[in-house]
Structure 1
């Protein structure tokens, strides 16, 4: 499907029919998440490590089915329903993030892919797979706040489940008076945000749209302006945050551009760089606020994903800089 989604609370619905020997995959185009419908062995599976499977003896070649794949932050759920009998079964898995990387890993828990980017399906083996309709749905609409960003705004991919409620996005959303949602994608830039916001915001709708982007490069005053103007055109209020500090200090120049655009459009934004810096000046990263990611031999020692301490400080800073979102 040539539409890109990263809403934290979404699901895709396939209306499908199978042959008795079908083995079909329903997955993300990156391959980070795969669901298998295997009529040879009558199994519904999530290809996690270890794999999670459940028997689906009621699935046959005569009837038609609705297959739903849910993404709710750290939880993935799959449900298959027989349209003739109403019989269904479902399986679920919860991603338990590692915290850091390499020597910085603090949790060896269960890993489940984030269903990144584009939805795909295919016939791996068997006579046929018929997909009659595909629908992507948000689990919420008419929001107070929608958050956009890269991996910093996708803590579900790296936060240990035990502490996930203390990630900065969850702290903010749990204090909003009304509905809220995030749309983060690890590794993305403003280019990807500009693509996916057009697939999400017009349908979900939100009073405020908070953007925290630039850690992976790609920002420019022109692109930031384009993003702001698109949000305004959707009758939403843009909030353009400073990105947190990182070990290479690339945040300094990025945040100068962000401030120029804020001034240009008279926008509010949160100074996440201040509360993640050693001297509260937005310059040198406070490593105690970040998960340690050890990429020895390539990128080196990385500190730019907020841990519990950093997340709490970022949340508190929103109470100072953008209290209006909580009113």
Structure 2
């Protein structure tokens, strides 16, 4: 099947291309972008020699026509208009934010403008979500931070282990901010320094976390989210805590998580005593997770590591597309990372 990538010159686009080149079910079709149109892909993705001479086209419905799958790795607010030009039978995968939220008011508050509508949410691990994605022709890929938080906490809320009042502190690498030049992301600003941003409930991924966790819990879940920028190119390490349910024990927490994740191919519950590190997941469509109970504070603690570009974006997108097309869910997706 032919797959087109809009936004092929960006970080998410490059990761999609890396994974698609190793996927036996896909042939890479049109590559499009905005400001980089007319230039060879090698100028933007030199790590992809198989596609080095391909010329990037201007993003349009005509350029993306004739493909079975179209991936939109575009900034928020740009996907809806492009998707509207594509036939209903094409699988369109939005790696941006346009179609993730179900509440138009939340979209207006955190993103501004009119809400473009809601598509099936591309996180197969959530309870019941694989059935939703089967045969889907429009898919909204989660944000990278929500991917980590939802994977870390859905077992807790599915099993009634925690109260609906979540605190998340997460560190992300600089690729999460995209490829556009920004002074605060210069090497001299980032190296040797960790900084907080979007503090006080301002980060745009907050309502997405609340939406996903509330859907699992069956009651509204409040999330206080503090993101931090770490001096690394890839990765997210998220520490997620919530008040523990009365009478909860460490053994019960472990048992519930083992049960919830036993058949998940991409979420690894680490052996007791081993804690996640971002280096465990580089280049892999996997999540490394550990959970415990702080008995003194009465809080459940889940710590998770993912690669924000793989499981957090491109890998999660292809995983969802595999399900939508009736392919094996693990097809073309790396389980092994790169170390050191």
TM-score above 0.5: no
TM-score, normalisation: structure 2: 0.29
Structure with more of its chain in strand, by fraction: 1
TM-score, normalisation: structure 1: 0.30
Greater CA radius of gyration, 1 or 2?
1
